[in-house]
Amino acid sequence: MTADGSIPAGHTRDPCNNIPKAAAMNSTVSIVNVENERIYEAVCRAFEQAGGKQAIGYNERVLIKPNVCVPAPSGSGMVTDARVLEAVTRLVLDLGAKPVIGEGAAAGYDFVGASSTEEAFRVSGTRAVADKLGVALRNLNRDDSVELEVDGAFVMERATVARSVVDCDRIISVPVLKSHHRTLATLNLKNMKGVLSGAEKRKTHRLGLDLAIADLFSVVRPDFCFVDALTGLQGLWNYPEDSVSLGLILAGANPLAVDTAGIRLMGLDPNQAMHLQYCCRKQEFDAESIDIVGEHPERTPQPFLSSSEAFLRRFPGVRFVQGQRACSGCVGQLVGALAYIRDAGLEHTLKGLTLAAGAPFREEVPGPRILYVGVCCKEQTGRNGFVPGCPPNEEQLLRKLGSICGFDAEQVLARRKIERNKLWEQTRNLLNT
Ligand code: SF4
């Protein structure tokens, strides 16, 4: 450590002081079909086929990092399925290692007025898995933090991360398979963003998300990766309509190889995932060199939908303009709010509305009914509607939309309350099956 308490460049967890370039790592990716709901067996098979036994040692402290970015139920494709998390945690226990589950929900969460990581743990079933297996569960947004120096940074010279990341011997990443409106896909590389301490997550959007993810990868790299591809999520991440059922588990020691395979599995082009490309360039890794065992990655019947395609299909009367800084915080809150309005039968009131997030240029935003959302837009609002927040609060969004579009927001909020209470019930049913 340096005198100011930060950890110098190249020094993260003790066993990983000399992180090898990804080009030198085993790039086998295993894709396994889950048969008859036997998830634990599928996880173990994927782990073995990808040479996982060398990745985790007896008695090692293992941080398991799922993707539980928001309060959403298991099986939706939005968060790592609690059954996959349970299987991975059991596997780590069976290897004689000491697992801890850790996650910090999306940028903007864990702040006053926003949903919390704890709520995400409860709704997704993550809390239930930790309790059942007697494993510690950490909210990484509330963890002590340490600063890491990034050697040869593109944009982020220092990364403030949760202490748990450097206090463990190994990291296992367990994201769920999702396409993403900004980064094309969100898999193991983007999953690591959850270890950045609270407000630090937002910084990555200001700096440039793809480059910041590549910088973070230089100092925090999972030692083994799974992907929960039981159910993936496409388009606007509005489950169940955007959920895609695949019934697969992916595994591999090399995050660049696993993410490449995951993107191909979604029918998308890894060359268009810029964060992956930046990592490959920095790590001198050739994505063509990956070795797939098991199922073929090009088996998806049709490519996952992009968010703009899905938005046009689903809300044809609404324009959505996203600036350079738009992130899943604002997009997710907006899409969630619009879906509740539609489910309440009030979609017709949205006709002619323009929504703007992520600081687009003003001339890109056509009137007359305009709502700017999120603090990124605060300089541009002028005489138009504006909901602050990072991300904005969904309830405030619904109320503002009600006043602009002339519908009764209370009616929509009442419906939302009923729907939310169903979420945990869905997860509980899954865990009991
Ligand atoms: S205001 Fe919205 S778009 Fe901007 S960083 Fe926050 S959540 Fe993302």
User: Does residue 309 sit within a domain?
Assistant: no
Name the closest-CA residue to atom 6, ligand 1.
Answer: 390
Q: What residue ranges line ligand 1, CB within 6 angstroms?
A: 107-108, 202, 205, 325-327, 329-330, 357-358, 374-376, 390-391
Q: How many domains does the chain have?
A: 2
Ligand 1 centroid–CA 331 distance in Å is: 8
What is d(CA 141, CA 139) in angstroms, rounded to the nearest whole number? 5
**Longest CA–CA separation in the chain, Å:** 64
Q: Give 3-state DSSP helix, strand, coil % of the chain, rounded to 5.
A: 40, 20, 35
- 162 and 194 share one domain: yes
User: Does residue 215 sit within a domain?
Assistant: yes
Which one of 180, 182, 202 would you pick to mutate in the ligand 1 pocket, going by the greatest count of ligand atoms within 8 A of its CB?
202
Model pLDDT, residue 22: 63
Ligand 1 centroid–CA 205 distance in Å is: 8
Buried b (16+ CB within 10 A) or exposed e, 144-179: ebbbbbbeebbbbebbbbbebbbebbbbbbbbbbbb
pLDDT at residue 154 tops 80: yes
- 410 and 280 share one domain: no
Ligand 1 centroid–CA 125 distance in Å is: 27
Model pLDDT, residue 23: 59
- 86 and 214 share one domain: yes
User: Does residue 431 sit within a domain?
Assistant: no
Ligand 1 centroid–CA 338 distance in Å is: 17
- 189 and 241 share one domain: yes
Ligand 1 centroid–CA 391 distance in Å is: 5
pLDDT at residue 4 tops 60: no
User: Of 4-18, 26-40, 75-89, where does mean pLDDT reach its minimum?
Assistant: 4-18
The dihedrals phi and psi of 424, each to the nearest 5 degrees, come to: -65, -35
- 194 and 59 share one domain: yes
Pairing of strands 28-33, 61-66: unpaired
- Specify the pTM: 0.80
Given 233, 266, 299, which residue is the final one in a domain? 299
What is d(CA 400, CA 4) in angstroms, rounded to the nearest whole number? 46
- Split at pLDDT 50, 70, 90, the class of 296 is confident
Name the closest-CA residue to atom 8, ligand 1.
Answer: 327
- 399 and 291 share one domain: no
Residue scoring higher pLDDT (334 or 297): 334
- 320 and 294 share one domain: no
CATH number for the domain that contains residue 69: 3.40.50.11440
Q: Which atom of ligand 1 is nearest to the CA of 358?
A: 3
Distances (CA, A) of 427 to 227, 245, 433: 19, 16, 10
- 261 and 123 share one domain: yes
Residue 107, helix vs strand vs coil: coil
User: 355 pairs with which residues across the strands?
Assistant: 320, 371
- Split at pLDDT 50, 70, 90, the class of 21 is low
- Split at pLDDT 50, 70, 90, the class of 352 is very high
User: Does residue 1 sit within a domain?
Assistant: no
Given 299, 322, 350, which residue is the final one in a domain? 299
- 289 and 375 share one domain: no
- 211 and 333 share one domain: no
Given phi > 0 = left and psi -120 to 50 = alpha, else beta, which region is 125? left
- 325 and 292 share one domain: no
User: Does residue 366 sit within a domain?
Assistant: yes
What is d(CA 381, CA 73) in angstroms, rounded to the nearest whole number? 35
- 274 and 388 share one domain: no
User: Does residue 433 sit within a domain?
Assistant: no
- Split at pLDDT 50, 70, 90, the class of 324 is confident
Dihedral of the alpha carbons of 109, 417, 372, 198, in degrees to the nearest 10: 0
Model pLDDT, residue 288: 86
Tell me which range, 308-317, 324-333, 367-376, is most confidently predicted by mean pLDDT: 367-376
pLDDT at residue 8 tops 50: no
Model pLDDT, residue 18: 47
Domain that holds residue 201: 11-299
What is d(CA 390, CA 179) in angstroms, rounded to the nearest whole number? 22
